[in-house]
Every structure is written in C-alpha cells, then in structure tokens.
Structure 1
Amino acid sequence: MVVFTGLAIGVGYAVGGRVAKADLNHPISKWYDRAPLLGAAVGGVAVWIVVRVIDSELSPLTIAAVIVLGALVGTGVGWLAALATRRKARTQIPVPAIVAAAVGGSVLAEVSWILYQTLITKVEWPSAKLRIPFPQIDVVSGSALQIGGVTIQRSAIFTVGALVVCAAGLWYFVNRTRMGRGMQAVSQDPDTARLMGINVDRIIVVAFALGAVLAAIAGVSQGLQNTNIEFRMGFLAGLKAFTAAVLGGIGNIYGAVVGGLVLGVVEAMATQYIPGQFGGSTWKDAWAFVILILVLVFRPQGLLGARVVDRA
C-alpha cells in the first residue's frame, strides 16, 4: 500500500509541476519550491487514507465525494505550505497547479487501491513458504546412468555440459568478438574507451545481460539438481559462487571456473574422507568457507591470480 501511495503522490506532484512550469516558464529545483505541490498531494492522499480507515468499502458516489474533499483539503495544505516557505521560494506556484496535484493524488490513490485489491484477491499467488516442483525433462532429469560401478545423475551431466558450453562461449565472446574486446577496454579504462569510439553504456548493458543469461542457466541447473525451488535456494549458491570467484581470482574468468571445480571437489572429498564429527554432508558447506578463509589469508589474489589492470 505504501508503494501505491508513494506512486500517487509522485504522479500528482508531477501533474502539478507540469502545470506550474507551463504557467511560469520556470523550472522547480528546490524543496521549498516543491512544498506547495507536495503538500497538496500529501493532503489529498491523507484524506483518502482517513476515509479508508473509517470505511473500507466505499460506493462510487462516496469515492467521488472523497476525491472532491481531498482536492479541497489538499489545496488548503498546499496553500499553507506555500505560505510557510514563501520567504525562501524562488518561484510562485499558482493555485491551479496545487489543485491539480491534490486531485491527481486523490484519484491515483483510489485507482491504485482498487487495482491493489483486485490483484490481491482475484489472482491466485503461489505461497513463498512452500516448495514448488521444478519442471522435469526426461532427457536431463530421467533415471541415473550406471557406468561401471559409478552412478551418475543426468542433471549432473547437464550441469557439466552447460559449464563447458558456457565457459567456451564466454571465452570466445570476450576474446574474439568486437563487443568482447570493447568490454575488456571498458573494464580497463572507460574514459579512454569512450574516446576511442566505444559505446560504454551499451557495453555495460551487454555485460549485465550476459551475467543474467549465465545466472539463468545456473538457476535451471540447480533446479534440476534439487527438483524443487524455494525462495532461499539461491542464497547459499550465491555465497559459494563468490567463494569460487575468490578462490580462482577476482576478475579472472578461467579462475572462476577452476575455483568452482576445486570447491566442488573439496566438498565431495571432505564429505567422504574426513572422519569423526566434522565429516559428512552436514559439514560440506563449512569446509567450503574454510577454503575461502585459507585462500584469503595465504593467497588473496586467488589460485590463478586476480586480474590487475596496468595503467600508464
């Protein structure tokens, strides 16, 4: 509800600000110049909130009356705000702009509340506390394969295959394409890269999009491994991804791959070969962060070395 109210105030203020700018041909740039419009929007929304607290179900006639009352109260509040800040104000906001802000705030608050109620009551939302089954694909998530005396899950094969394809594709993109070389240039010196004709903003967008694509592939892989998804399943995976990046070397693509593989091997070996109360699957996550601490203490640049940019 706070989001919708904030949206109503913001749009109501924008409507009033547009009127004020059109009338006076003067931009509004200080908080005391905005005070009348903000006061008008807040006053109109406050009336609507009070009426809603008194009676949550309103008829269309009552809604129209609330909008009119909110416009009147909001105009009064905006006028008082203008009087309180007129000594510092650099521009004068006309009454039509204040009325527009009050009416806009009231109308948008009511419309937003109706949409909010409709979305909450009419749409069947999944519960965030329940585990949702992840879609299964026979080729990827079917029965396990038996190779000699080793049992290999098909989801694990998919994960390794996705790793090889993504790593090879990322290497080719970064080192062999024009966009990838531009990305390397931007990472070294964005100002010089911009002078060389590289569109830095586009490079940044592509980098974020590429990261989202790789994260989506990792999410699908983890969903196939767990067979169920929940809201907190990515938290520990994100911590381990950071650990793998530090283990391999921050900024080093190949180091991240090696760090992830080393981390997985260490967890598997710790689970199988460490005896006593510190062994077993319950301690595999703890051993992963022990490796992170050791790397940070004895080799903070990572196994393959962090990527360092040489500047003239």
Structure 2
Amino acid sequence: MSLPFSGTSLPVLSANQRGILAMLGAMALFTVNDALVKLTAASLPASQIMTIRGGFAIAFMMALILASGAWRSLRALASPIVALRGCAEMIIGVSYVSAIAYMALGEIVSVVQATPLILTALSVPFLGEKVGWRRWAAVLTGFAGVLLILRPGISGFNMAALLALGTAVFMAIRDLMTLRISPLIPALVVGLGSTLGSFSGGLLLTPFMPWGMPSSGDVARLAIAAVALVFGNWCMVIACRGVDLPTVSPFRYSVVLWALLLGFLIWGDVPDTFALLGTGLIVGSGIYTIHRENRLRARAATTAPVVQSPPGTR
C-alpha cells in the first residue's frame, strides 16, 4: 500500500500481527474499564455502577447491532444457552464490581487470569476431556499463584478476595456455555445478552445497595467505561478470527501489565514480592496451558474445519 505523493509504502499486517495488536488493544480497553469502575466505586455502590454502565453499553451495542444488520438475530437472546450465559455474566458482574473497590487493580486482574486454568479443570467433568499430568501440574501451579496473591489466613484475605476467585470460576463456566452457542449467532448479539445480564444484576442488587446521587464525573466515567468495554469485546472478536490462536492467545496476559501500570499511576499500588511471584505463576501456567491444549488439538485435528466460538465478554 503506497502513500499518496510519496514513494514510500506501508507494510501490510499479517493476520497474526493484526490479531496480536487487536488482543493487546482489547486487554488495554478492558483495563481502562476496570480502572474507571474502581474510581467510581469510591462514591457509588456496585448496583448503581452496573446499572448505569450497563445502560450506556446496551444503547451503544444496539446502535452497532442496527448498523451491522445483526438485529435479524436478536431473537437468539431468548435461546436458553444465551440466556444462561447472560445469568453467568450477571454473577460475574456482581462479584467483580463488588470486589474491585477493595482490591488493588493488579491483584484482582491477576486472580481473574486463573480462568483458563479453572476452565481446564472443569472441562473434565463437563466436557469429558482427558487432562494429562502436565496440564494438571500447570493448574495446581496457577492456583498456588492465586494463594500467594490472596494469602489465606493473612489480614489481606477477605470477602473481596473470595469474590475475585468466584469471578474467575464463573468466567470459566461462562466460557463453557459459549462453546454450546451456535456460531451462526453474531458475536454482537451474544455480547448484548451478556450486557443485559450485567445490567439486570445491577437492578437486582438495588434494594440491598441503595443508590446515591452520581456526580457528572461519575456518569462520564461510566459512559467511557461502557465504550471501552464494547470496543474491547469487538477487538476480541478481531483477535480470535482468522488467526493462529496459539500465537495470539498468550497476549491476553498483557492485561496484567496494563493493570499493574494503571494501578501504580492512579493509586500508587506497588505489589509485594509474594504478589509478583503469584502473578508470574498464574501467567506462566496459563500460557503453558494454552500452548499445551493447542498442541493436543493440532495433534488430534482432522480434515474437518474448526469453528471458533464467540469470545467471552467482560
């Protein structure tokens, strides 16, 4: 591709390069969402945050759905599996937004990165998958990393820590449900179902968490968070389509670096040695698990094409 009025040309990105950039962008946008939610949690309850952000996100996603023509598939929202996935997203939203107010951004993001390890463990009873000793060792190593971050029995271990771990468990359950969703249902519609679930969770919490009067800054932060969340999920779609997933997937762990950076710049958070070691164990185990699972799939691959499921949303 040549630039007008110049003899220079721009390099054309390969599919994998595009996927890596999209994955890095998605993780950055998700972290921006988390940081904005954490800032707002200092003045508003989780119920109000989820409802206001969800309202903005629903409006924005509906605009994208109408513009893309995906509105023809909106009836899929009534599908039992899509509805169940929305319920899982409701629990994820409640637990994550409730926990993020009381944990350092880098810590909660690192704990949630245990999701692929939990997914590997759950694939045995729910999918009948055989998991060898190498992947079980990676799962146990990753959970050791979680324990190093949360440190049970230490004053820092509290309900927020349990909610963060619960978030990772339900994210894995949500991803198992995603495998059951027809690839014919547009990712935007699946994402809308998740957003509706999170929005509903905020409404259900309202009687237990009365709303306050949001400032204009609170509303602006949640509007920007909604945009970051929607575009983050869109980047995830780009990152996972038409690429070599073993090459692109490990870059999802860049979210930990983004979280540590924003945590330091905004709140001055500096993780201690145990937290850094735990984070390293989780990330390393997750990358190995992704690598191992992809090698096993490649070994067992047949001539039938593999259909990628829509990626999970936040």
- TM-score for both structures, normalised by structure 2: 0.24
TM-score, length-scaled by structure 1: 0.24
Larger-gyration structure (1/2): 1
